[in-house]
Chain A
Amino acid sequence: MTALLSTRNLHKTFGKKRSLVHAVNNVSLDVQAGECLAIVGESGSGKTTLANMLLGVYPQTSGEITLDGQQLPARRTLVHRRAIQLVQQNPLSSLNPRRSVGASVRLGLDVYGIGKPSERWRITEAALEEVGLPAAFRKRSPSALSGGQRQRVAIARALACQSRVVVLDEPTSALDVLVQARVLRLLDRLRRDKGLTYVFITHDLSVVRNIADRVAVFNAGVMVECSDTRRLFEAPQHSYTRSLIAAVPVVTEAEMQLRNTLAEESSK
Chain B
Amino acid sequence: MTPVLAIENLHLGFKGYTGYTEVLHGISLSINPAERVALVGESGSGKSVTARIILGLLQEVRGATIRGELRFLQHDLNSIGTKHWRDLRGTRMSMIFQDPTSALNPVFTVGVQFIEVLRRGSAPLSEAAALSRASALLQSVSINDPERVLQAYPFQLSGGMNQRVMIAMALANNPALLIADEPGTALDVTVQAQTLDLMNQLVASHNTAMLFISHNLGVVREFADRIYVIYRGRIVEQGPTAAVFNDPGHPYTRALMAAVPRITGGGIADIPDTSDEFLQPCVNHGSAL
A, B: real partners: yes
Complex interface: chain A residues within 8 A of B265 (CB) = 209-210, 230, 233
Q: How many residues of B contact A (CB 8 A)?
A: 37
Contact A247:B193 (CB < 8 A) given known A42-B188, A178-B255: yes
Complex interface: chain A residues within 8 A of B190 (CB) = 42, 203, 243-244, 247
Give the contact-size bracket for chain A: 35 or more
Q: Does A177 contact B (CB under 8 A)?
A: yes
- How far does the alpha carbon of A247 sit from the alpha carbon of B217 in the complex, in Å? 15
Complex interface: chain A residues within 8 A of B198 (CB) = none
Complex interface: chain B residues within 8 A of A244 (CB) = 189-190
- How far does the alpha carbon of A206 sit from the alpha carbon of B191 in the complex, in Å? 16
Whether A255 pairs with B42 at a CB distance below 8 angstroms is no
Tell me, rounded to whole Å, the shortest Cβ–Cβ distance linking B39 to chain A: 14
- How far does the alpha carbon of A206 sit from the alpha carbon of B262 in the complex, in Å? 5
Whether B260 pairs with A210 at a CB distance below 8 angstroms is no
Tell me, rounded to whole Å, the shortest Cβ–Cβ distance linking B47 to chain A: 10
- How far does the alpha carbon of A178 sit from the alpha carbon of B271 in the complex, in Å? 7
Q: Does B1 contact A (CB under 8 A)?
A: no
Q: Does A145 contact B (CB under 8 A)?
A: no
Q: Is the interface of A mostly helix, strand, loop or mixed?
A: helix
- How far does the alpha carbon of A248 sit from the alpha carbon of B256 in the complex, in Å? 17
Of B75-83, B102-110, B200-208, B218-226, the one contacting chain A is B218-226
- How far does the alpha carbon of A255 sit from the alpha carbon of B217 in the complex, in Å? 14
- How far does the alpha carbon of A224 sit from the alpha carbon of B167 in the complex, in Å? 33
Cβ contacts A to B, 26 pairs, < 8 Å? A42-B188, A43-B158, A176-B42, A176-B43, A177-B217, A177-B256, A178-B255, A181-B258, A182-B273, A185-B268, A206-B261, A209-B264, A210-B261, A210-B262, A210-B266, A210-B267, A233-B263, A243-B190, A245-B263, A248-B218, A249-B192, A249-B193, A249-B219, A252-B262, A254-B262, A258-B263
Interface residues of A (CB under 8 A from B): 42-43, 146-147, 176-182, 184-185, 188, 203-207, 209-211, 230, 233, 243-252, 254-255, 258-259
Interface residues of B (CB under 8 A from A): 42-44, 158-159, 188-193, 215-219, 221-222, 245, 255-271, 273
